Amino acid sequence: MPPMEATDELKHSPLEKEHAALGAKLGPFGGWLMPIEYQGALAEHRAVRERVGLFDLTHLGKMEVAGPGALGLLQSVVTNDVSAVEVGRAQYNLVLNEGGGVIEDLIVYRLGPDRYFVVPNASNTQRVLQILGEADAPDRVHLMYHQDWCFLAVQGQRSPSIVTSLFPEAGELSFMRCAESAFRRRPVIVTRSGYTGEVGFELFTYEDIAVELWHQLMDAMAMFEGMACGLASRDVLRLEMGYPLYGQDLFESSTAFEAGLGWAVSLDKGDFRGREALVRQQREGLPSRLRGLRMHERRHIPRAHYPVFNGDLVIGEVTSGTFSPLLETGIGLAYLWPGDVADVGAEVEVDIRGRRGAATVVRPPFVDRSPR
């Protein structure tokens, strides 16, 4: 996870007392005070991979883009072709600067013909709102930032039984689909998505019912030995899938193509922020590329900013790294300079506090846990 810096102006989840009651270690993250771990990252990782876990992700942004000009506005700002998204589906997207660098990655859910729900990262919510607000819309657009909404994620093999018991609509959802439901007469957006690689669901609703919904989900998980999970375990889970994290693996100084996210870019849809820079880079070549690294020895764990070597030549730098409980070895993401030594299958070394550790360049995901 990115460095967590304390501040006197942290935002608070409506579930903070529930986290404290469970003995959670709370810490600053993205401008919020959030649960980092409860019973330990390894135990929580195991719960999600083998059974089910519940995350409070209220720190992430929650905004609605609606009106006749909603599609045109989103098309001019994000990289993917939103016009291809049917009602009830979701799409991964990027927001770029004019140089093609990644300002943000986010999910766009289409709730209706002219109604979209957008979920950016916590630290960039206001910036995405500003970019959308300043962009030229071809027709009327209503932007709404849901400051009073919470966000819960139920992830793991047992999640369908738990979520469908409260929201029957969830049973009809396949991966990256969404539906609207209700809980205690309050609207709930139910999505079949997640950041762990496991089957899972994400729930968005008003914070005034967050505590009751949390307890209902916790009670439903009890029969499966599920547990509350913090952001530390989520970081390990996403790294095993090779999912990049904004601020850690995605930066404004590296383009969407360098980050290996060309599949989320539609150059043919028309103009959008950063398109010209990507076209130019496509023609001229990439100066670096985000790759996966799998360490050879269990004791070698890559961390952010560790240099990557080929012989005596520095060929890149680690952006994220951790120990994978599934693989029982260190894994990481790193921007590597182009060339044969940075290709998939190449053997490299990571400088770990002055000592070299051998690694193989791989194409993520590191583990085969694709959502079903």
What are the pLDDT digits (tens) for 189-248? Answer: 999 999 999 999 999 999 999 999 999 999 999 999 999 999 999 999 999 999 999 999
Question: What pLDDT is attached to residue 1?
Answer: 47
Domains, the chain, ordered by start: 11-61+147-240 (3.30.1360.120), 63-145 (3.30.70.1400)
Distance between first and last Cα of the chain: 26
Q: Which residue in 289, 281, 287 sits closest to 335, CA to CA?
A: 289
Residue 299 has pLDDT above 90, yes or no: yes
Q: What is the pLDDT of residues 247-284, one digit of tens each?
A: 999 999 999 999 999 999 999 999 999 999 999 999 99
Torsions phi, psi of 287, nearest 5? Answer: -80, -20
Question: What pLDDT is attached to residue 136?
Answer: 83
Residue 5 has pLDDT above 50, yes or no: no
Question: What pLDDT is attached to residue 74?
Answer: 97
What SS3 state is found at 291? strand
Tokens for 85?
């998204």
- Whether the upstream peptide bond of residue 307 has omega within 30° of 0, thus cis, is no
Average pLDDT over residues 364-370: 86
Model confidence at 4, pLDDT cuts 50, 70, 90, reads very low
Identity of residue 231: L
- Tell me how crowded residue 106 is: count the other CB atoms within 10 A of its CB: 22
**List of residues 6+ apart from 289 with CB closer than 8 A:** 258, 260, 335, 336, 338, 342
Q: What is the pLDDT of residues 31-76, one digit of tens each?
A: 999 999 999 999 999 999 999 999 999 999 999 999 999 999 999 9
Residue 8 has pLDDT above 80, yes or no: no
8-state DSSP, 158: T
